[in-house]
Amino acid sequence: MASPTSLLKRLLVGRPFRSDRLQHTLLPKRIALPVFASDALSSVAYAPDEILLTLSIAGASAFLFSPWIALAVVVVMLTVVASYRQNVHAYPSGGGDYEVATVNLGPRAGLGVASALLVDYVLTVAVSVSSGVANLGSVVPFVATHKVLIAVSAVVVLTAMNLRGLRESGTAFAIPTYGFVIVIGGMILTGLVRYFVLGDDLRAPSAGLEIQAEHSVTGFALVFLLLRTFSSGCAALTGVEAISNGVPAFKAPKSRNAATTLLLLGTISVAMLVGIIWLARLTGLQFVEDPNTQILSGPDGYVQKTVTTQLGETVFGGGSVLLYVVAGMTALILFLAANTAFNGFPVLGSILAQDRYLPRQLHTRGDRLAFSNGIVFLAVFAIVLIVGFQAEVTRLIQLYIVGVFVSFTLSQAGMIRHWNRHLRHERDPEARRRIFRSRAINAFGMAMTGTVLVIVLITKFLLGAWIAIAAMAVIYVLMLAIRRHYDRIAAELEPTEVRGVLPARNHAIVLVSKLHQPTLRAIAYARATRPDTLTAVTVNVDEKDTRQLQQEWERRELPVPLTVVDSPYREITRPILNFVANTRRESPRDVVTVFIPEYVVGHWWENLLHNQSALRLKGRLLFEPGVMVTSVPWQLASTATKNLDRLDETLSRTPARGPRVAPRSTLPPPVPPVTAPPGEPGPSTGDRQ
């Protein structure tokens, strides 16, 4: 019977998938859009807020610049979408920006892109979930007073859904994503029809407020403020790169479907962003950075609501069902926007692990063919950020978009070199024209994203962007260190051309604490290996117990000599190590095999009562050169009820398939015989005990 833990896991995650089910998890365009584009689509829910609150620093008159800021953001977004349509056709393997930069600019540039994307994915989860909590808190006071708890709970739920697998999470997220697009699109259309066709006087709840400027902004300060507003609005571009990382998850033809999804993403995002900013200006909506100090006059008990919530109240009326639908759908899509990172981070982590820049555990798939370790890592880091910044969107947003624009810029630079390389070999005039056109798109994209990156660094560095840059640097150095470690280990383990020299002699030592069945089994197994010498060793820590052991040994007439090692300080590990070292010191070509009897227990708490000395000895003996350690198991009665299927899942990365069949033998498969080099003596056959 399965344990409660296994039942809970199956309830939350589902039954394991066979590896050959991987093809069934591929996504059509209608599912891929909510899976990979929910981040970019949802960013229109908080990008207008960031544009308006940044402009509010200069007072209400600065809101007149919001349409022009939105237009500049739209130009950058369309440029990035067009550029990434080139990427998915040129590099469909799923490496995305990391692969483009690595192939064309070198491994160090690729690693810089990877570190930027890893930081950006973590921030995507933290910002999206925190923004969803803020929107939901606009209509539900309980959420507003428990922001951190709700945000952490949302991350946990998203983690569980993604652990169930890509296809299932995509299907679950499709309805809310399309619902958000329909609701926001319907709100914009209804508001424009009421304003221009029906002639209704639509006034936002904040339209009549008297707003005080935080600073007098003129000249260069105004330009700097507009640039900072533009950089905040560019948060709407986050998530575009996720599609280039997720091309392998699309159904065939993969590149064409990914490019089509990118086009749909860009079109929908642009339409919603422009519509929200336009409707905000028509209704006189105001949104400030610090309501407590900037709002001079307003209704008693006025609480500032998000832009989409204010527009929903203006268009559909306060307290209406549709207002709650707008707020609910906005909060839901912001929660689900983190799903883009939950799909991008694990895939990128798997590729980096395959390239030996991250731990190899991130490369393997879990029970449901998802990269489970990467999903869990992302969730933990995002929760740390949410708790550390108390789920405040305005504080988190300052760390945002630095990483994504680093990857945008380096990726476009890599694509330019990609097209230049193709031009050197392409002779067909029509093909060369297509390459020139593609290179021009990527060049324009690099210029735009590079400009935005410089603006972001200038305007947001002291506001918190330096934290993201420092995190990128730490991850970059850490990945280099991991790669050096793996390279060093690989060099050590590389087989040499010189044939291995067989050991001259094999000295077997059986460790004995008392004479019982585990000891007798260890002696029998050691004799079966036919070593050159065989001795049993016990450590004298108690004279009475040692004499009893010697008497019992002689009474049973065991054919193996018992050696007693004295220990005046009642220590076990050091005397054994010295005895093993002395045994091997006589000949460097000799090996020593130490047989350790061990109990196999059925309950975790039994491990606390047994095998402690054996564990310490093994831990020390493994560092001794020329020493082999062999555990001889003895199964206690409690193992009869052990759930072996659950044990398989715990000890192996591959889930158990079907009922477990006990093997006929616990011995390892036979090793092919090794022939000694000419002139070298073979294993000794004499003097065996």
- Summarised one tens digit per residue, pLDDT across range 541-579 is 888 888 998 999 989 888 899 999 888 777 888 888 888
Distances (CA, A) of 420 to 84, 437, 525: 17, 12, 67
Q: What per-residue confidence (pLDDT) applies to 125? A: 86
The Cα angle at residue 609 between residues 603 and 610, in degrees rounded to 5:
90
Contact 348/96 with Cβ under 8 angstroms? yes
Beta-carbon contacts of 637 under 8 Å, excluding residues fewer than 6 positions away, are 602
Distances (CA, A) of 358 to 139, 241, 249, 306, 348: 43, 21, 22, 39, 10
pLDDT, mean of residues 306-318 = 87
Task: Look at residue 482 and tell me whether its pLDDT is greater than 60.
Answer: yes
* Exposure of 592 in the CB half-sphere (CA atoms within 13 A): 26
Looking at residue 549, its amino acid is L
Task: Look at residue 189 and tell me whether its pLDDT is greater than 80.
Answer: yes
The tokens 């200006």 sit on which residue? 281
Confidence of residue 99 (pLDDT cuts 50, 70, 90): confident
Q: What per-residue confidence (pLDDT) applies to 325? A: 87
* CA distance linking residue 187 with residue 409, whole number of Å: 35
Residue 680 has phi, psi (to 5 degrees) of: -95, 140
Nearest to 497 by CA among 677, 344, 339, 670: 677
* CA distance linking residue 656 with residue 643, whole number of Å: 12
Contact 217/369 with Cβ under 8 angstroms? no
pLDDT, mean of residues 642-654 = 52
The larger pLDDT score, comparing residue 354 to residue 670, is at: 354
Average of per-residue pLDDT values in the chain: 79
Q: What per-residue confidence (pLDDT) applies to 375? A: 84
Q: What per-residue confidence (pLDDT) applies to 638? A: 78
Nearest to 260 by CA among 274, 247, 275: 247
Q: What per-residue confidence (pLDDT) applies to 497? A: 61
Confidence of residue 355 (pLDDT cuts 50, 70, 90): confident
Q: What per-residue confidence (pLDDT) applies to 364? A: 67
- pLDDT one-digit tens code per residue, 443-468: 988 888 888 888 888 877 777 778 88
- pLDDT one-digit tens code per residue, 514-542: 888 889 999 999 999 999 889 999 998 88
Confidence of residue 501 (pLDDT cuts 50, 70, 90): low
3-state secondary structure of 533: strand
Q: What per-residue confidence (pLDDT) applies to 94? A: 66
Distances (CA, A) of 551 to 115, 256, 558: 67, 82, 11
211 pairs with which residues across the strands? Answer: 295
pTM, two decimals, is 0.69
> Strand 591-600 relative to strand 627-635: parallel, antiparallel, unpaired?
parallel
Task: Look at residue 671 and tell me whether its pLDDT is greater than 50.
Answer: no
CATH class held by domain 26-485:
mainly alpha
**Which DSSP category does 250 fall into?**
B
| Tally: H helices and E strands in the chain | 25, 7
Nearest to 587 by CA among 527, 507, 655: 507
Confidence of residue 595 (pLDDT cuts 50, 70, 90): very high
Contact 119/407 with Cβ under 8 angstroms? no
Beta-carbon contacts of 622 under 8 Å, excluding residues fewer than 6 positions away, are 629
Q: What per-residue confidence (pLDDT) applies to 498? A: 58
Q: How many C-beta atoms surround the C-beta of residue 603 within 10 A?
A: 13
Contact 536/562 with Cβ under 8 angstroms? yes
Return the percentage of the chain with pLDDT > 90, whole number.
11
**Of 159-163, 351-355, 403-407, 455-459, where does mean pLDDT reach its minimum?**
159-163
> Strand 295-297 relative to strand 533-540: parallel, antiparallel, unpaired?
unpaired
Task: Look at residue 71 and tell me whether its pLDDT is greater than 50.
Answer: yes
Residue 21 has phi, psi (to 5 degrees) of: -85, 0
Q: What per-residue confidence (pLDDT) applies to 536? A: 93
- pLDDT one-digit tens code per residue, 386-402: 888 887 876 776 777 78
Q: What per-residue confidence (pLDDT) applies to 241? A: 74
Q: What per-residue confidence (pLDDT) applies to 404? A: 80
* CA distance linking residue 552 with residue 535, whole number of Å: 16
Q: What per-residue confidence (pLDDT) applies to 686? A: 34
Q: What per-residue confidence (pLDDT) applies to 528? A: 92
* CA distance linking residue 674 with residue 501, whole number of Å: 9
Nearest to 334 by CA among 42, 138, 126: 42
Strand order from edge to edge, sheet including 533-540: 562-566, 533-540, 506-511, 591-600, 627-635
Q: What per-residue confidence (pLDDT) applies to 193? A: 92
Confidence of residue 475 (pLDDT cuts 50, 70, 90): very high
Q: What per-residue confidence (pLDDT) applies to 377? A: 87
* CA distance linking residue 129 with residue 34, whole number of Å: 16
pLDDT, mean of residues 90-95 = 75
* CA distance linking residue 535 with residue 579, whole number of Å: 11
The larger pLDDT score, comparing residue 58 to residue 454, is at: 454
Looking at residue 227, its amino acid is L
* Domain ranges for the chain: 26-485, 505-640
Characterise 595 by phi-psi region: left (phi > 0), alpha (psi -120 to 50), beta (else): beta
Q: What per-residue confidence (pLDDT) applies to 684? A: 34
Q: What per-residue confidence (pLDDT) applies to 644? A: 56
The larger pLDDT score, comparing residue 630 to residue 61, is at: 630
Looking at residue 100, its amino acid is V
Confidence of residue 670 (pLDDT cuts 50, 70, 90): very low
Q: State both tokens at 43.
A: 């960013």
Q: What per-residue confidence (pLDDT) applies to 163? A: 76
475 pairs with which residues across the strands? Answer: none
Q: What CATH number matches the domain at 505-640, 1.10.150, 3.40.50, 2.30.30, 3.90.320?
A: 3.40.50
* CA distance linking residue 351 with residue 81, whole number of Å: 23
Chain Cα centroid distance, residue 104: 25
Contact 361/117 with Cβ under 8 angstroms? no
Q: State both tokens at 477.
A: 């150095």
Q: What per-residue confidence (pLDDT) applies to 359? A: 86
Confidence of residue 337 (pLDDT cuts 50, 70, 90): confident
pLDDT, mean of residues 341-364 = 82
- pLDDT one-digit tens code per residue, 659-668: 444 443 333 4
Instruction: List own/partner pairs for 173-176 with CB under 8 A and 24 or more apart.
Output: 173/34, 173/35, 173/38, 173/336, 173/339, 174/30, 174/31, 174/34, 176/34, 176/329, 176/332, 176/333, 176/336
Nearest to 176 by CA among 335, 17, 381, 404: 335
Task: Look at residue 655 and tell me whether its pLDDT is greater than 70.
Answer: no
* CA distance linking residue 618 with residue 680, whole number of Å: 32
Instruction: For residue 677, count CB atoms less than 10 angstroms from its CB and return exposed for 0-12, middle for 13-18, buried for 19 or more.
Output: exposed
pLDDT, mean of residues 41-65 = 82
* CA distance linking residue 502 with residue 340, whole number of Å: 55
Q: State both tokens at 189.
A: 């259309």
Given this chain, do its domains 26-485 and 505-640 carry the same CATH topology? no
Chain Cα centroid distance, residue 626: 40
H or E segment at 562? Answer: strand 562-566
pLDDT, mean of residues 616-631 = 87
Return the percentage of the chain with pLDDT > 70, whole number.
83
Peptide bond into 253 cis (omega under 30): yes
Contact 415/100 with Cβ under 8 angstroms? yes
Start-to-end CA distance of the chain, whole Å, equals 46
Task: Look at residue 18 and tell me whether its pLDDT is greater than 80.
Answer: no
3-state secondary structure of 204: coil
The larger pLDDT score, comparing residue 687 to residue 390, is at: 390
pLDDT, mean of residues 497-514 = 79
Task: Look at residue 510 and tell me whether its pLDDT is greater than 90.
Answer: yes
Q: What per-residue confidence (pLDDT) applies to 620? A: 86
* CA distance linking residue 328 with residue 331, whole number of Å: 5
